[in-house]
Amino acid sequence: MATTEGVLVASTSRGCKAINAGGGAITVLTGDGMTRGPCVGFETLTRAGAAKVWLDSEEGQRTMKNAFNSTSRFARLQTMKTAIAGTYVYIRFKTTTGDAMGMNMISKGVEHALHVMSTEAGFDDMAIISVSGNYCTDKKPAAINWIDGRGKSVVAEAIIPKDVVQSVLKSNVDALVELNTSKNLIGSAMAGSIGGFNAHAANIVTAIFLATGQDPAQNVESCNCITVMKNLHGNLQISVSMPSIEVGTIGGGTLLEPQSAMLDLLGVKGAHPTNPGDNARQLARIVAAAVLAGELSLCSALAAGHLVKAHMSHNRSAVPTRSSTPAPGAGGPGGCRRR
């Protein structure tokens, strides 16, 4: 985790300790498909409507899929979702990308598919307005990512025994269930949140993204998360559902030496040797499990009234005087400490 908030590392570690004491976390990957949503335009609504009908037809789906798939060994078109606004048509391509996060790979395939549509499908009057028409949606809040997913869709769950909730988390099961309902569910609904039904998923996602060479701007959609807590026979059942985690283990920042070392430490460096995509999918599972730990610990601190005290104790240090020299690794003004 790469973060300037030192106590975040300690808090997430505490959540991991509680999860491990309960037997570990379970993760289920429910979807794997990166998206790109170009915008194309026509002079009349009649032609725009005809394009949408063709794209939604069996012939259109087959033609676009064959064109797209011909551009890569790994990118495979799964679905196309279309929408129309006046004379503009938006096409949301969802595709596999192997172990790459895949935006460049998809953009290449989309450009070729649109070229085939224009030159071979009778839509030579089509104007390609933008290869990205914000129907993807990349690096911006959007309900479509929350509902339809983008990148990897993962659910993580753990069951924390009652005694572990008390001894490690300094709380109790019913208090945590009520806090989660009132804060993460009702409170977020009162605020009109989209995908923000959690305590601080963005903290953990961003810290892991920075450490492993992911695109930090994609934390916008990758942090979509709903946290659910239940009292299960006296124990705490906690889960996080994250429909749009966007990660890769090859390309981009993953090639930087420190970030590459972190991926190696996690056992997911580079392309999977036998099943392309497995390393990226495993990294998404790791992100979700880490978010689970972070949610568990922060909510426990809130329920016990320990949040402010913990920050004051662990995330602050005295400002050194002119005559003193900070010890190596000690935090300066602002309280950052290396971990």
* Residue closest to 150 by CA, chosen among 93, 188, 189: 93
CB 203 within 8 A of CB 175: no
CB 62 within 8 A of CB 324: no
Calpha distance 285→293 (Å, rounded)? 13
Q: What φ, ψ does residue 122 adopt, rounded to 5°?
A: 85, 20
| Burial class of 170 by CB neighbour count within 10 A (0 to 12, 13 to 18, 19+) | middle
Strand partners, 250: 100
Helix axis angle, 201-212 relative to 278-304, nearest 10°?
140
Cβ neighbours of residue 84 under 8 Å, at least 6 residues apart?
Answer: 48, 49, 52, 90
At position 219, the amino acid (one-letter code) is N
Calpha distance 123→86 (Å, rounded)? 17
- What residues are labeled active site? 5, 139, 215, 311
* Parallel, antiparallel or unpaired: strands 196-197 and 151-160: unpaired
